Every structure is written in C-alpha cells, then in structure tokens.
A and B are shown apart, each in its own frame.
Chain A
Amino acid sequence: MLVLSRKVGETIWIGDDVEIVISEVKGEQVKIGIRAPRNIEVVRGELRQDISDSNAEAVIKSFELLKNMKK
C-alpha cells in the first residue's frame, strides 16, 4: 500500500478527477474531504465490510430451510 504523509489543508489527487483533502486533524480523528465525479462511489470501509459480512452470512447453507420457505 502506498502511504503518504500529509498536513491539514494538503491534498492528494487520485487519477485526474479525484481529489482528497485533509481538512482537519483532532486527536485520533481525521476529517477528509473528497472531491470526485458523481459516478464514483464513496463508501465508509466499515459499512462495506458490514455488507460483505452480511452477504457471507446469507449464502444458502441448507436445502431444508429452503424447502420450508416454499410452504
């Protein structure tokens, strides 16, 4: 993974159309601004992880349960 050190107000560009701005650092919390075209999705990591976990839980494991669903 590429790791860069930045100060408040400094930016990082990803490609030609995504700009990341470090807007505030307070203790353990960092506020990050993201300027990106609307066709680029921005999702918090823990939310994506939660969806991922939920998908893993939802994989069908038993045909018996499925048969019961049919009733």
Chain B
Amino acid sequence: MNIHTSYLGEITIDPTEILNFEHGIPGFEEEKSFILLQLDENSIFQILQSIKTKSLAFILTIPYELVTDYNFDIDEATLKSLEIKNETEVAVFSIVSLKDTIANSTVNLKAPIVINTSNKKAKQVILDNDHFAIRHKLSFESVKG
C-alpha cells in the first residue's frame, strides 16, 4: 500500500507493519496508525509516520543508545493492553524533539513508545519514575549516528 508523507514523499509500505496505537498518543488521540521508517541504514534515528496525516511524523531513537542505564519495568496496564507475553517481543523507542541544533534538541525518556513487535500494538507509556526527564538533552557526544 502507498501512503503520502511530507518528508519522504509517496512511499510504499507493508500494511502488516502498521503499528496500532489503540488510544493514539497524548495530544494526538485520534492518530491510531503509524509506521516506523528507517531514516538510513546507519542512523540511530527512525521516523514514526502517521498513516492518515501526511504532515504528522516524529523522530524516534533507541533510548539505550543515549542513556546506558535506561531501564524500566513495564506496568501491568501496558502488558495487558499490548498483550505482551514475552520480553523478547518488546521494542522501546523515545521521541526526539529536534530543535535548531542537536545540542538544543531533547529526547523524551519519561514517556517511551512501547511496541509489541508480534502483534504491532503500541502505546506511549508514561513512566512512574522521577529519574527520567520529558526533555532530556540530546548531548552531541552521545549521538553515534
């Protein structure tokens, strides 16, 4: 199937790869379907593109690449709603807020995107944890991209 995007033009995607956010994400509750697109092979950044809104896309990164001690327990509500049965089927990403420079850019460690890779159900989880910031500085040194 083909979808329209503002940044990559019209692209062909595999419909079985579409991620289903049952309740959208905070601020975008009506956006239930997204697709994860690789920016390029070596990049640690990916694009989370809305299926229905061509201008809606986010940059995602793998938080473990930025913060070595990043870890959290997935709460029961998330396990249940995403039907997660096994740790190995879970993928975790963080939303990057890109500013004019990388040094001013931030990454949201407080509310990661959790994906069940088996059934493509996904959710932005708000962690009950004071160690992780919503706007964690994306320091240049730590970006290996």
Interface residues of A (CB under 8 A from B): 38-41, 43, 47-60, 63, 65-66, 68-71
Contact = CB atoms under 8 A, between A and B. Distances in A.
15 contacts: A38-B76, A39-B76, A41-B75, A47-B126, A48-B26, A53-B27, A54-B108, A54-B134, A55-B58, A56-B27, A60-B59, A60-B98, A65-B100, A69-B39, A69-B43
A58 B108 contact: yes
B59 A69 contact: yes
Nearest to B145: A69
B39 A66 contact: yes
Contacts of A49: 26
A58 B97 CA distance: 4
Interface residues of B, number: 35
A53 B28 CA distance: 10
B44 to A, nearest CB: 9
Given A54-B111, A69-B59, 10 more contacts: A39-B76, A49-B26, A51-B26, A51-B126, A54-B97, A55-B26, A55-B58, A55-B108, A59-B56, A70-B43
B134 A60 contact: no
For the complex of A and B, list the 6 residue pairs with the smallest distance between their C-beta atoms, beginning with the closest. A52-B27, A52-B26, A58-B97, A38-B76, A55-B27, A51-B26
A39 B80 contact: yes
B108 A51 contact: yes
